[in-house]
Structure 1
Amino acid sequence: MNRSIDATHDPNLRSWVESANQKDTDFPIQNLPFGVFRRRGNAEPSRIGVAIGDQILDLTRCREAGLLQELSQELQQACTAPSLNPLMAMGSEASSALRRRLSELLRTDGETPPPEEGILIPMPEAELLLPATIGDYTDFYASIFHATNIGKLFRPDNPLFPNYKYVPIAYHGRASSIVPSSTPVKHPKGQRKRPEEATPSFGSCQLLDYELEVGFFVGAGNELGQPVAIANAEEHIFGLCLVNDWSARDIQAWEYQPLGPFLSKSFTTTISPWVVTLEALAPFRCSAFQRAEGDPLPLPYLSSPQDTSLGGIDLTLEVLLRSQQMRDAGMQPFRLSLGSFQQMYWTIAQMLTHHTSNGCNLRPGDLLASGTVSNVQEGSQGCLLEITQRGTSPVGLPTGEVRAFLADGDEVILRGYCEKEGYARVGFGECWGLVLPTD
């Protein structure tokens, strides 16, 4: 089920792209995440690229230069598509073969000259787009710590519903409003009702929040009526990205009963542009979250020995905020939280398996997200609703400003990276958005 560690993970590999050899880069030769880009100011169609240091390897130019001839014609054609969907549809064997070829192409022994000129584009010269055409988007609720914290705020006597420890809870999100990192965020409008008000009113959101999440893209899909077994689930997952599921908390509080989120979530969801493949994450797999004593075991269809032993991902996640006042003063972003994806109650395989357990068909490029990532430790909570206790304990910024929820001009930055002794650091880049002034 899990991709294996091979020569592409060798920490001694070096690239002829010098910036990829820097210790703190997100994109060393051991990573090779996929994305879609367009040259700034260029009317050409979008292209698939691979992040390597501070450069983008243009796969269309690589094919034109004859650098992918070792690969099948179908795989070469997928590399020149305007989105990652055709490559995703080919499954894990194809992405693994392409990864091996790219690793060979980009590595150096100190003597091999760089290949064809024109295959690299500096990142500042590129506009990074959505990596895939996303047909469907499903948002899970996979952190028990987040679910419990939110439950305590709204239902102190009954914070966690009894189904939580049995069912990977999710809702169907809105794919059309998923945007790439750097897209500005507008305050949505909707109905809001404060506790002291007799009737609701319509207007701009006053309690805007972020949610730190991890997303994963479906690779090879499944046919309608054909569930995916837990043992095979990861063969249907192409790779991971960062997700900020912006949330209008005042609209959400009024609308979510009895059917859950609607306008409070569908206005904008931001994702990072680079998709880190499961192949790249092989060294950082770990055991699934250990459930507390007395918790029920997952039902058999959600359980396998391999998922128990290697279903987790040791991925560090952080959220930073920079206000307009901080930018004007030239200050660095302020870190709001630091946590780990390792502490999720449900694994990505369990989420995908449950999603298809009723016969639901997933398609290449579909996006599934984890829900807010929060840990048990203080300072690891993945949204302001938790951090500020529903706005009652605002966060202080270095400028003296305070935040119960987001303000106009705030910049929210999500980062993720994997580190382990004996392996190169693998990063996800940034997922960020700027809050525009309220209408």
Structure 2
Amino acid sequence: MTWVTGAEGSAYGVRNLPYGVFRSGGGDPRVGVRIGEFVLDLGAAEAAGLVLAAGALGRSTLNAFLALGRPQWTAVRQRVTELLTDPAHRPAVEPLLVPLAEAELLLPFEVADYVDFYSSEHHAGNVGQIFRPGQPPLLPNWKHLPIGYHGRAGTVVVSGTPVVRPTGQRATPDGPVCGPSVRLDIEAEVGFVVGVPSVLGEPVGVADFADHVFGVVLVNDWSARDIQAWEYQPLGPFLGKSFATSVSAWVTPLDALADAFVPAPEQDPPVAEYLRDVPHVGLDLRLAVEWNGERVSEPPFATMYWTPAQQLAHLTVNGASLRTGDLYASGTVSGPRRDQVGSFLELTWGGAEPVTVGGAERTFLADGDTVTVTATAPGPDGTTIALGEVTGTIRPAR
């Protein structure tokens, strides 16, 4: 049990302890851990000698801490848990708790590289039916390797950052035009944050996933479907994706999700040797998508065909190196039902079947719309762990 007021029984209780970066009262950014409705100032805790982390917790990003590796991650987590549960530490630690309402949450890590995958069979099948009616929904390579693309690290933004409607070329019956996107969409995803780098030329195996990946964030990979449809052949996503990708302000460590690993879907045909993960496990994360405060979908991450470990192995199999702060995302999370999809492209079947939101029929995003993605996971002893939400509001094109 924790002595922190209001934190016992919270989805942000002592079994969770996600990391972020914050500032308050005009101070400098520093690392913190969320406990209930408070942020424990780990920079101040380290300065006071309460936590040892090689000076990494007083920094303006998590990167220095991420680079320390799993033994140090585990040791700090155990120490923070001790500080927040042993009443003997309360006099020293309680003054370091900042009310969440007084904390400005910042991008928690400096993004080195950003890769986005396409790992939901349900999502890929839906998109195939929408864009290629009458043809097989999955392309021939889809079940042989995790499809992905390299994104733009510099446009990854923290939850709450407004998203400006992108401008670009799109096709019309009279030919291509350049202007604001009229089919702006979301993609509800799960992202994985790399801590320990790897050596250029040396692949990272599926068994090494937990040695390199620190934790998990929620992701909204905003997508301009009309720009994307005109540009993506033959080289794939570019301007339709690179204008903004939102991530949650809190990074949930893998240690907090130990009870959320579940068997992943069976893979048929058998995958290549470097993709064979034993045990073959995914995560039981239960996402929810709210459109202007109205819940419209509940995507289940446990249905994802390609696992996080397989994604990591694939993105390095050619010898590409990992760097501290790398972010790779799962791709849109969609289940088998229409109320389990992670994009409005699927929810409205390409805009052909509008849904009612706020009493009005809707297809794609309008200026002023707000989308929030949340998620929970099973924790130890029947508890529930919450992942940090990711939210964004659409602003008009400039």
TM-score, normalising length from structure 2? 0.97
Alignment partner, residue 96 of structure 1: 74
Amino acid in the other structure paired with 1:350: Q
Amino acid in the other structure paired with 1:374: S
For residues 167 and 276 of structure 1, the distance between their equivalents in structure 2, rounded to whole angstroms, comes to 27
Q: Percent identity?
A: 47
Match of 1:354 among 298, 314, 321: 314
1:252–1:261 CA contact under 8 A, matched in 2:
yes
SS at match of 1:372: coil
Q: CA deviation at 1:127?
A: 1.1
Q: Within 5 A, what are the aligned runs for 1:12-27?
A: 14-21=1-8, 23=9, 25-27=10-12
For residues 260 and 121 of structure 1, the distance between their equivalents in structure 2, rounded to whole angstroms, comes to 44
Alignment partner, residue 402 of structure 1: 361
5+ residue gaps, structure 2, are none
Q: CA deviation at 1:114?
A: 4.0
SS at match of 2:130: helix
Match of 2:38 among 47, 55, 60: 55
Amino acid in the other structure paired with 2:116: D
Alignment partner, residue 327 of structure 1: none
Match of 1:385 among 345, 358, 361: 345
TM-score, normalising length from structure 1? 0.88
SS at match of 2:372: strand
Alignment partner, residue 160 of structure 1: 138
Match of 2:263 among 276, 282, 287: 287
Q: CA deviation at 1:383?
A: 0.4
Q: CA deviation at 1:79?
A: 1.8
Q: CA deviation at 1:420?
A: 5.5
For residues 298 and 243 of structure 1, the distance between their equivalents in structure 2, rounded to whole angstroms, comes to 27
Q: CA deviation at 1:305?
A: 2.0
2:83–2:93 CA contact under 8 A, matched in 1:
no
Alignment partner, residue 304 of structure 1: 277
For residues 116 and 51 of structure 1, the distance between their equivalents in structure 2, rounded to whole angstroms, comes to 14
Alignment partner, residue 387 of structure 2: 428
Match of 1:186 among 159, 164, 169: 164
Alignment partner, residue 248 of structure 1: 224
SS at match of 1:20: coil
SS at match of 2:145: coil
Cα distance change, pair 286–204 in 1 and its aligned pair in 2 (3 A): same
Q: CA deviation at 1:436?
A: 1.4
For residues 237 and 288 of structure 2, the distance between their equivalents in structure 1, rounded to whole angstroms, comes to 25
Alignment partner, residue 59 of structure 2: 81
Match of 1:214 among 180, 190, 194: 190
Q: Given the alignment of the two structures, is residue 365 of structure 1 paired with residue 365 of structure 2, yes or no?
A: no
2:277–2:310 CA contact under 8 A, matched in 1:
no
1:16–1:114 CA contact under 8 A, matched in 2:
no
5+ residue gaps, structure 1, are 1-13, 323-332
Over residues 129-185 of structure 1, what are the superposed CA-to-partner deviations in whole Å (9 max), with x where a residue is unaligned?
A: 111111110000010110110011111213211111011110000000110001011
Alignment partner, residue 319 of structure 1: 289
Q: CA deviation at 1:200?
A: 0.5
RMSD between superposed Cα atoms in Å? 1.5
2:338–2:346 CA contact under 8 A, matched in 1:
no
Over residues 8-28 of structure 1, what are the superposed CA-to-partner deviations in whole Å (9 max), with x where a residue is unaligned?
A: xxxxxx21212211x3x3311
For residues 271 and 93 of structure 1, the distance between their equivalents in structure 2, rounded to whole angstroms, comes to 26
Match of 1:135 among 112, 116, 120: 112
1:28–1:424 CA contact under 8 A, matched in 2:
no
Q: CA deviation at 1:304?
A: 3.0
1:409–1:435 CA contact under 8 A, matched in 2:
yes
For residues 183 and 19 of structure 1, the distance between their equivalents in structure 2, rounded to whole angstroms, comes to 28
For residues 308 and 393 of structure 2, the distance between their equivalents in structure 1, rounded to whole angstroms, comes to 29
SS at match of 1:428: strand
Q: CA deviation at 1:283?
A: 1.1
Cα distance change, pair 27–224 in 1 and its aligned pair in 2 (3 A): same
For residues 150 and 249 of structure 2, the distance between their equivalents in structure 1, rounded to whole angstroms, comes to 22
Over residues 229-263 of structure 1, what are the superposed CA-to-partner deviations in whole Å (9 max), with x where a residue is unaligned?
A: 11112211000000000011111111111101111
For residues 234 and 104 of structure 2, the distance between their equivalents in structure 1, rounded to whole angstroms, comes to 41
Amino acid in the other structure paired with 1:334: E
SS at match of 1:94: helix
Q: Given the alignment of the two structures, is residue 38 of structure 1 paired with residue 23 of structure 2, yes or no?
A: yes
SS at match of 1:261: coil
